[in-house]
């Protein structure tokens, strides 16, 4: 009932509207009549749409404005997280929901209440059980924005003590611009870090200030390195013949920023041997040719290293797969789950993948406790190996080539199935033109390193675009599965489920 009272008092474009509350005469249960939102949780939005920096900042700015409105009304949400921000996929209009743990500003919390909220997004003062105000919500919104920009948690950890330690540490998190250098604008990174200040007095005082700072951050030009002074060669003046010893003078040095000593050789007699002059010119020409050849050996591989992934991503045929995360049905065809669907205790699931072309497929599962398990390639799950040939069905699990089901024993929470599909082995993401493979620096072990660093791997691939649900032609699954499409390099897709 507290949520109803608070939500009905808040009238804002970016806060869900609550219209009525009543009791069902038949069941005696209380129900709430609230605004219908055609959208998805912010945490699932990336599976349907790739946001630009401008779209991300505008969206988060609207939420900051809503929090400012709530704070001015004396309400602190206390549980800002992606799941409590619903977004219309077409208009990108966010709606703040779930005021179930909201409190009036200044209200104290008992020790039992201190843990209310979602650990990864809680402010330091929430962890310490202190009185919170609107600045605590802005901290949590900063954590959400950090995650949107970097694709990783601001305060990672698999247990409450680990997350709390990270959130209370003075020098966490790493600034977003350092996580993705050259990608995230420094000005935007500074706004995020101010929102994540451990001392509330160092944060934005109001949400409207944070909204304005975010918009301003994208209008500021990125800082560039100061231009280097030109290293134009100086003309040496021949010393008088009467001076037999070298003269030493000091001239500014541009490359080191200090002083460079320059030695003027004593003037040579006018009558120089013609053959010696020719030999010197020949040596200089040879050195120049060697220098050019050396530069070409460095420049050409570098151009290929940087340019080939871009060319391949845009020019090569796109990587596309059919994906089905299936739930076992006692009788009939297995049901294909959708993003955000729930699994009950005792449910059994399987993963179905069918690539359009021959593709390297990697499937991982992240349990609700954060444990990562490799489902493919894995001899314990199926004898099938990479690459998966065009039109071949991949069913996980299938030990001894017999299709089976995974039994789930997760705790309540959110789990994920992560699917990576690439046109080449994923090691090529670290060695685009194959030079490191030739010298043995990149090999099968590189695949393992990339798969153990999911944020780095995700940054190298585009998010798979959901192109609709279709029945697979010639497939053993008659229920429509999800068609995902990436670019010429591949795709990265996170399928989220709720374990009840």
CA-to-CA distance for 420 and 388, rounded, in angstroms?
Answer: 12
> Which contiguous run of DSSP H or E holds residue 65?
helix 53-72
The total number of residues written for the chain in this structure: 500
SS3 assignment, position 299: helix
Say whether 417 sits in a helix, a strand or coil: strand
Cα angle 372, 415, 393; round to 5:
75
Cα separation, 142 vs 196, whole angstroms: 6
Answer yes or no: 79 catalytic: yes
Q: Using DSSP, state whether 298 is helix, strand or coil.
A: helix
Catalytic residue of the set 20, 23, 24, 79: 79
Number of other residues whose CB lies within 10 A of the CB of residue 19: 10
C-alpha closest to that of 92 among 123, 53, 133, 58 = 58
Q: Cβ–Cβ contacts within 10 Å for residue 428, how many?
A: 23
First to last CA, the chain: 23
Burial level of 31, CB count in 10 A (0-12/13-18/19+)? exposed
Give Rg (Cα) of the chain: 31
Distance of CA 336 to the CA centre of its chain: 27
Active site residues: 79
């Amino acid at each position: 009932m507290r949520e109803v009272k608070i939500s009905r008092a808040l009238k804002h474009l970016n806060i869900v509207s609550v219209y009525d509350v009543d009791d069902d005469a038949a069941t005696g249960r209380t129900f709430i009549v609230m605004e219908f939102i055609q959208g998805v949780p912010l945490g699932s939005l990336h599976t349907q749409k790739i946001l630009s920096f401008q779209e991300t900042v505008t969206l988060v700015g609207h939420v900051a404005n809503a929090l400012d409105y709530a704070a001015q009304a004396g309400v602190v949400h206390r549980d800002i997280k992606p799941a409590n921000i619903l977004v219309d996929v077409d208009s990108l209009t966010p709606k703040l929901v779930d005021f179930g743990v909201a409190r009036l500003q200044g209200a104290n919390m008992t020790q039992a209440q201190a843990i209310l909220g979602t650990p990864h997004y809680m402010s330091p003062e929430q962890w310490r059980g202190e009185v919170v105000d609107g600045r605590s919500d802005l901290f949590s919104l900063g954590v959400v924005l950090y995650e949107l920009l970097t694709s990783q948690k601001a305060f990672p950890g698999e247990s409450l003590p680990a997350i709390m330690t990270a959130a209370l540490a003075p020098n966490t998190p790493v600034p977003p611009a350092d996580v993705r250098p050259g990608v995230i604008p420094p000005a935007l990174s500074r706004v995020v870090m101010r929102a994540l200040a451990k001392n509330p007095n160092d944060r934005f005082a109001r949400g409207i200030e944070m909204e304005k700072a975010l918009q301003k951050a994208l209008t500021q030009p990125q800082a560039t390195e100061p231009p280097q002074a030109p290293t134009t060669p100086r003309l040496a003046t021949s010393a008088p013949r009467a001076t037999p010893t070298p003269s030493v003078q000091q001239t500014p040095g541009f490359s080191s920023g200090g002083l460079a000593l320059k030695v003027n050789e004593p003037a040579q007699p006018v009558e120089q041997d013609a053959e010696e002059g020719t030999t010197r010119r020949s040596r200089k020409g040879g050195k120049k040719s060697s220098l050019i050849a050396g530069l070409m050996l460095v420049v050409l591989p570098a151009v290929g290293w940087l340019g080939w992934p871009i060319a391949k991503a845009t020019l090569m045929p796109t990587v596309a797969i059919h994906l089905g995360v299936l739930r076992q049905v006692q009788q009939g065809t297995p049901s294909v789950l959708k993003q955000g669907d729930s699994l009950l205790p005792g449910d059994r699931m399987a993963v179905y993948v069918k690539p359009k072309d021959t593709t390297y497929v990697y499937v991982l599962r992240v349990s609700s406790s954060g444990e990562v398990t490799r489902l493919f390639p894995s001899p314990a799950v199926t004898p099938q190996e990479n690459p998966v040939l065009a039109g071949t069905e991949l069913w996980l699990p299938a030990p001894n080539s017999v299709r089976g089901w995974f039994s789930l024993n997760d705790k309540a929470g959110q789990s994920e199935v992560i699917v990576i599909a690439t046109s080449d082995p994923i090691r090529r993401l670290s060695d685009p033109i194959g030079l490191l493979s030739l010298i043995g620096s990149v090999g099968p072990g590189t695949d393992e390193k990339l798969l153990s660093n999911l944020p780095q791997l995700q940054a190298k691939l585009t998010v798979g675009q959901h192109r609709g649900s279709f029945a697979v032609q010639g497939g053993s699954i008659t229920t429509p599965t999800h068609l995902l499409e990436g670019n010429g390099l591949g795709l990265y897709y996170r399928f989220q489920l709720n374990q009840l």
